[in-house]
Amino acid sequence: MPCQSNEELESILLEAKQYTSEGKVADYIPALSKANPDDLSVAIFHPDGTCYSAGCIQEKITLQSISKVITLALALMESGEEYVFSKVGYEPTGDPFNSIVKLEMSNPSKPLNPMINAGALAVTHMIKGNSVEERFRKIIDFVKRLSGNEEISYSAEVAKSEFETSHLNRALCFFMKQHGIINEDVEELLDLYTKQCSIEVNCLDLARIGIVFALNGKEPITNKQLMPAQVARICKTFMVTCGMYNASGEFAVRVGIPAKSGVAGGILGAVPNRFGIGISGPALDDKGNSVAGLKLLEILASKYELSMF
């Protein structure tokens, strides 16, 4: 069933689009600076396969931090809760996503949660396999299953651009290696992590992934269990407490749904038992969240009473 353009959604998109001029595309990963700050698109995917969209849904972006919730699900499925949370904590930080400060201040020195860069690097480290290629194949295959899109691939250009400039993430890795949180070669871990962040999706793919979380791990239409309900529940909880970084509290008040953002401008939303939402809008606010995407979700949340709270 193709995703249908929807008039009501188009008018909400138009309203939110005015806010793109208040944001800036990310440029600390040089390849991301090529994105068009005016782009904005949205898709909403329902359990029966009905899909509504607005804007240019073909526009692709890289997952960036949205991949963190996917690798968390995979690590929980592979290694179990006890192991995962022996290496990474449960608590929000209130700091920017790439901050190193709490890593040194917490005792034992483990990342506070899996949604900040340090925690996500620790989680990616857990993905098992004999080589970076094998581990990356596992991650991208999982993204294909969750999105129902066999054509998903990654941008080698964005991966290389981040790999070559990722000094802060390298520092986080070395710090964690010193403290026994990770024990692999840092360059290999960064190779895998930058590739996972560079997986390309459009807003429809994000909405499809979102609905799997919304349906407690079940694929829409077929009802096939793609991840255990408990894994989906844990991921959604982190999306609420840390999914929008140090804007998660305000987002919970204004929108009130589990969501995860990325610096390429994507937002994945999971409205429990109702639908998945995917947004692509590369202009970001100062905390790294899509500025018009947030506005769009705010409008949707008040119009359709989406808040869980």
Instruction: Enter the tokens of residue 97.
Output: 């996503």
**The dihedral formed by the CA atoms of 132, 121, 179 and 166, expressed in degrees to the nearest 10:** 90
Q: Is 136 in the site for ligand DON (CB under 6 A)?
A: no
Exactly one of 39, 162, 191, 219 binds ligand DON (CB under 6 A); which one? 162
Exactly one of 20, 64, 99, 216 binds ligand DON (CB under 6 A); which one? 64
101 is catalytic: no
| Nearest-angstrom CA–CA distance, 276 and 268 | 8
Min dist CB 115 to ligand DON, Å, is 9
Pairing assessment for the beta strands 61-62 and 51-54 based on DSSP bridges: unpaired
Min dist CB 168 to ligand DON, Å, is 7
Exactly one of 57, 72, 132, 197 binds ligand DON (CB under 6 A); which one? 197
| Shorter beta-carbon distance to ligand DON: residue 93 or 261 | 261
161 is catalytic: no
Pairing assessment for the beta strands 41-45 and 4-5 based on DSSP bridges: unpaired
Min dist CB 198 to ligand DON, Å, is 8
| Nearest-angstrom CA–CA distance, 17 and 40 | 7
| Shorter beta-carbon distance to ligand DON: residue 36 or 302 | 36
| Shorter beta-carbon distance to ligand DON: residue 216 or 246 | 246
Q: Is 124 in the site for ligand DON (CB under 6 A)?
A: no
Exactly one of 126, 139, 263, 291 binds ligand DON (CB under 6 A); which one? 263
Q: Is 277 in the site for ligand DON (CB under 6 A)?
A: no
| Shorter beta-carbon distance to ligand DON: residue 174 or 304 | 174
Any residues with CB less than 8 A from the CB of 145 and at least 6 apart, and which?
Answer: 226
- Please provide the DSSP assignment of 104-147 as one string: HHSSS---S-TTSHHHHHHHHHH---SSHHHHHHHHHHHHHHHH
| Listed residue (228, 248, 308) closest to 272, CA to CA | 308
Q: Is 269 in the site for ligand DON (CB under 6 A)?
A: no
Q: Is 259 in the site for ligand DON (CB under 6 A)?
A: no
| Nearest-angstrom CA–CA distance, 84 and 98 | 20
Out of 240, 245, 248, 295, which one is annotated catalytic? 245
Identify residues 70-99 at the interface with ligand DON (CB under 6 A): 97-98
Out of 42, 99, 193, 195, which one is annotated catalytic? 193
Min dist CB 264 to ligand DON, Å, is 7
Instruction: Enter the tokens of residue 292.
Output: 């018009």
| Shorter beta-carbon distance to ligand DON: residue 93 or 98 | 98
Residue 151: Cβ-neighbour burial (10 angstroms; 0-12, 13-18, 19+): exposed
Contacts with ligand DON, residue ranges (CB under 6 A): 64-65, 97-98, 117, 162, 169, 197, 245, 261-263, 288
**Among all residues, which ones are annotated catalytic?**
65, 68, 193, 245, 263
